[in-house]
Structure 1
Amino acid sequence: MSEYKFYNTKFIFWVLNGQVIEQRHFTSTDVRGRTQNDGKLYVDSKTTEMNEVWIRGTDGSEFSLTLANSNLPLRNGQDVSILCIKKENDQQGLYCGIKNKATGKWFQIKSGGDIATRYGLVKTGCLKSVWILIKMILLYIAALLVSYFAYLYITGKELGGDTISQISFAVVIAYAAFKFFRYAKVNNGKCSLLDDHIAGLMNSL
């Protein structure tokens, strides 16, 4: 139905049509404990309203979707369209949206951020952090050498080791801050664009 490129990864969108045959509503509660500086234990809980929807496709196959905190009105017997997404050449994908054909309303199952995280496209995480650390070390060494030889060339005097270290450290910190905010901005922008694309497809169904 549609192609979409996220960084260098190509995605394919397609649509499944079917009919709601059964629903099951339930709640899911996540409970976590945390200890504050006063030594007391505090408990945080989050309750999510879930709706398991069973759908019979046009080919007769049946499958289920689980909608979290959905305000999408659905009744058994109503026709729906499900927007799916997968990486190019993958056999399976994800459900990312469902639309009630009777009301025209739709609900996004997976956000752009969810999809990017699921496929490892968000530029964060352990491997990315290690790679940034390696680049910072290399940059630090390069900054040491550049600071030393630049000062020596300009003044004809050798620069003290402590001063070189301070300059290099400042360069590395500035670089790390730049990369952090750049990745955060780029990731948020990319995910928002993917959300907009999904919204456009859902509205056109």
Structure 2
Amino acid sequence: MHDFTHGDKTVSFTVLSGEVVGSEKLSETRVTSTGGVHVNGNDGDVTPVRISSVSIINHEFWVRTPDGVEHDVKLRGVDIPLRTGQEISLISALKKDGSPLHTILQNHTASKRWVLRDAKGLNTELELSPFNWKTLLIVLGLCVAGLATAGLGFLAATGYFCYAWYQGSQRKKLLISDLNAYIEKLDNQVASRGQAPSPVQIESPAQAEISFQVESPAPAQSPAETESPALNSESVRRALSRNL
């Protein structure tokens, strides 16, 4: 569990990492029609009927974590290519009831990443910056007071409303910026764990191929093939004596 805290707001994030063991996609078609309305109450004048259809992808897949537990994940309205055997990580924010709001999906095997919800979307769905009803009550009170102060209350209400709106927008902008930075940091941490280098394989000496050659010495001549210096001198003297 990873917690993001901003002021009095806390958002918990979970990271689901494992192997895809099953994936299925179903297409849902929604058909809507407009028109067919009578114009000016005249039965003869009818606006043209227009029919439109929208296809929505419902993606369901299973992820098996290293402890052997398989988790069911459902995505709606997004078409993400996944296949069995790929390693993925899914970052999700948790609502108050514990249901997940999927934020980022990383496919470590394919080196791909999809943003399902950004910080602005999470701010809206989690209601991190709700409407300030206290500001509305103060503005209404100033307006009522304006009836008895010849309009001064209306000016005060307008000024206070503009000030409160500006302060609220600045707080909302800062919250979204901090939340976006936290999601990016968590995303980088998950990516670094998923891209850990594999162990280096060392080739054993028995498997290594010897790439150099040892030059063997030239074969020595046998003693029978080697000429003796003494024998050569005696042969020369005999040849000279015969000539004499």
- Match in the other structure for 1:13: 13
Q: Deviations over 1:14-70 (max 9, x none)?
A: 42221112222233455667789x885877765443322222222332222233454
- Match in the other structure for 2:67: 59
- Give identity over the alignment, percent: 21
**Equivalent position SS for 1:168:** helix
Which residue identity is paired with 2:128? L
**Equivalent position SS for 1:77:** coil
Computed over aligned residues only, the root mean square deviation of the Cα atoms, in angstroms, reads 3.6
Q: Tell me the distance in 1 between the aligned counterparts of 2:22 and 2:144.
A: 63
State the TM-score, normalizing by the size of structure 2: 0.57
Structure 1 pair 86–50 and aligned structure 2 pair: CA distance change class (3 A): closer
Residue 113 of structure 1 pairs with residue 120 of structure 2: yes
Pick one of 131, 134, 145 that aligns with 1:131.
134
- Match in the other structure for 2:217: none
Q: Tell me if the contact between 1:25 and 1:52 (Cα under 8 Å) persists in the aligned partners.
A: yes
Q: After superposition, where does 1:190-201 map in structure 2 within 5 Å?
A: 190-201=175-186
Q: Tell me the distance in 2 between the aligned counterparts of 1:177 and 1:44.
A: 42
State the TM-score, normalizing by the size of structure 1: 0.65
Residue 101 of structure 1 pairs with residue 112 of structure 2: no
Q: After superposition, where does 1:62-81 map in structure 2 within 5 Å?
A: 62-70=70-78, 72-81=80-89
Q: Tell me the distance in 2 between the aligned counterparts of 1:137 and 1:4.
A: 35
Structure 1 pair 86–23 and aligned structure 2 pair: CA distance change class (3 A): same
Q: Tell me if the contact between 1:106 and 1:202 (Cα under 8 Å) persists in the aligned partners.
A: no
Residue 50 of structure 1 pairs with residue 58 of structure 2: yes
**Equivalent position SS for 1:195:** helix
Structure 1 pair 131–56 and aligned structure 2 pair: CA distance change class (3 A): same
Structure 1 pair 31–139 and aligned structure 2 pair: CA distance change class (3 A): farther
Q: Tell me if the contact between 1:11 and 1:85 (Cα under 8 Å) persists in the aligned partners.
A: yes
Q: Deviations over 1:107-146 (max 9, x none)?
A: 233332343344332223xxx3x4332121233356x4xx
Alignment size in residue pairs: 180
Structure 1 pair 194–17 and aligned structure 2 pair: CA distance change class (3 A): same
Superposed displacement of residue 79, structure 1: 1.1
Which residue identity is paired with 1:62? E
Superposed displacement of residue 198, structure 1: 1.3
Q: Which has the higher contact order (CA 8 A, sep 6+)?
A: 1
Unaligned runs of 5+ in 1: 145-160
